[in-house]
Amino acid sequence: MDLTLKIWRQKNATSKGKFVTYKVNGISPNSSFLEMMDILNESLVVKGEDPVAFDHDCREGICGACSMYINGRPHGPDKAITTCQLHMRRFKDGDTIVIEPWRARPFPVLKDLIVDRTAFDKIIQAGGYISVNTGGIPDANAIPIPRANAELSMDAAACIGCGACVAACKNASAMLFVSAKVSQFERLPEGKPEAAERGQATVAEIDRLGFGN
Amino acid sequence: MVLKYSSITKKIIMALAGLFLISFLIVHLGINLLILKNDGREAFNLAAHFMVTNPLIQTMQWVLFGGFIIHILLGVVLQIQNWMARPQRYKVEGYSHTSFFSKFMIHTGAIILAFLVLHLINFFFRAKFGEMPGVMIGDQHYEDMGLLVIEKFKSLPYVLIYIFWLLFLGFHLDHAFHSALQSLGLNHNKYTPVAFGISRALAILIAGGFILIPLIIYIS
């Protein structure tokens, strides 16, 4: 596959960025999106240019580090996957792909496609945890938890805090992240007692950090 | 003071004010439709008289002004905060799952507000402070509000302005009811799609109902 990439390049947090167009040729449809980026970077290094900086870690769809806004959508065109699980077969030969960093004031660009997502850690630090001392491992059925609650809590816990909700939201709001974190604990007996305070503290923090509404 | 409220509190107040304004629109439309009744404007004039003389309605009028001001003020604050939250826009704007008009609430709202001023000058202030034609119903004298409406809508530019204005009211309402429920935390797997349907139905019925009035008056 031959592709045209329009990638946001920004030297550092203080410099003004711009889009730079690159051509990549002979990309296998079976390579992942990040592998395609690796191939581009190798060619840039050979030419003595600065490779495109992007976040990535596990490359198996778990960590959510690979924050790329691809053709108007976080993590690209597929549903419920991270960028590392996106494959080039989702694109057509000759396509132009626009790759941007997450855009939100609390997520400042550090370099190229890498943004600082510390804001999410600050939200968690503000109260997104359980302070109850749960002690050692209790007996298996000592605390009964209804199946439905356990499932809902697990659904909420599926949020890996990648920031795609903020990137996708037209208001750059972090409500989805906070609601996932609040619901995850609120459904369980250990998290229930502090549910109200947790909600208030984390919402106050998203407002303070300057996320949208 | 407004800025001190949390984002969620602001959105809840915004939603409640919005729902109150929807209820006002339904009452307003109900009374307006009376003008289409072929009874020499009697029912409409009696209803208009009731609205300007009933003490409860007169009190609610101030609550209504308050509702408008709160809805507008919070809408502007929330929108400015949202714009500030993304100072650098995307090159390719997202196609995430949002209803079309949800992206333009501040714009449709601003158009509604601009023409609302004209509307208040045309009818509300005229009825309150201006010279009004009179009419006898039974042996009592009433102000002929109906005549004022009919006179206004005999002019084509007015009819067109009102239709344009009311279309934007419809666009605004399309993202109103279900969005308010969402802000109040009332979302549900089964009933949220119903709320979307109610929202669209309200938009079509309210805007369509209001549009019918100048249209029918002009044609007849």
Q: List the domain boundaries for chain A.
A: 3-114, 117-209
Which amino acid is located at A150 in the chain? A
- The structure tokens listed for B3 are 């800025």
Residues of A in CB contact (< 8 Å) with B are: 6, 8, 19, 69, 71-73, 98, 100, 103-106, 168-173, 175, 200, 203-204, 206-207, 210-213
Residue B112 lies in a domain: yes
Residue B118 lies in a domain: yes
| A120-132 b/e (C-beta count within 10 Å ≥ 16 → b) | bebbeebbbeeee
- Indicate if the pLDDT at residue A64 is higher than 90: yes
Of the listed ranges A72-86, A122-136, B205-219, the least confidently predicted one is: A122-136
Provide the pLDDT for residue B95: 61
Nearest CA-CA partner of A150 in A177, A189, A182: A189
Beta-ladder partners of A100: A69
Provide the pLDDT for residue A132: 81
Q: What is the CATH number of the domain that holds B147?
A: 1.20.1300.10
Positive or negative: CA dihedral B38, B39, B45, B47: negative
Residue B91 lies in a domain: no
| Contact assignment for A105 to B6 by CB distance below 8 Å | no
Q: What does the alpha-carbon distance between residue B133 and residue B144 come to, in Å, rounded to a whole number? A: 5
Nearest CA-CA partner of A106 in B7, B90, B86: B86
Range of the domain at B13: 6-82+104-219
Q: What does the alpha-carbon distance between residue B97 and residue B75 come to, in Å, rounded to a whole number? A: 21
Interface test with A, best of B14, B84, B96 (most A CBs within 10 A): B96
Q: For the segment A171-184, what is each residue's pLDDT rounded down to a tens digit?
A: 999 999 999 999 99
- Indicate if the pLDDT at residue B96 is higher than 70: no
Contact present, B215 and B175 (Cβ < 8 Å): no
A131 to A153, A187, A205: CA distances (angstroms): 18, 16, 18
- Indicate if the pLDDT at residue B145 is higher than 70: yes
Residue B214 lies in a domain: yes
| Contact assignment for A170 to B94 by CB distance below 8 Å | yes
Residue B149 lies in a domain: yes
Residue B88 lies in a domain: no
Q: For the segment B99-134, what is each residue's pLDDT rounded down to a tens digit?
A: 788 889 999 999 999 999 989 988 888 777 877 788
CATH 3.10.20.30 fits A3-114, yes or no: yes
Q: For the segment A145-173, what is each residue's pLDDT rounded down to a tens digit?
A: 999 999 999 999 999 999 999 999 999 99
Give chain B's domain count.
1
Residue B87 lies in a domain: no
B164 Cα to chain A: minimum distance (Å): 27
Here the ipTM equals 0.90
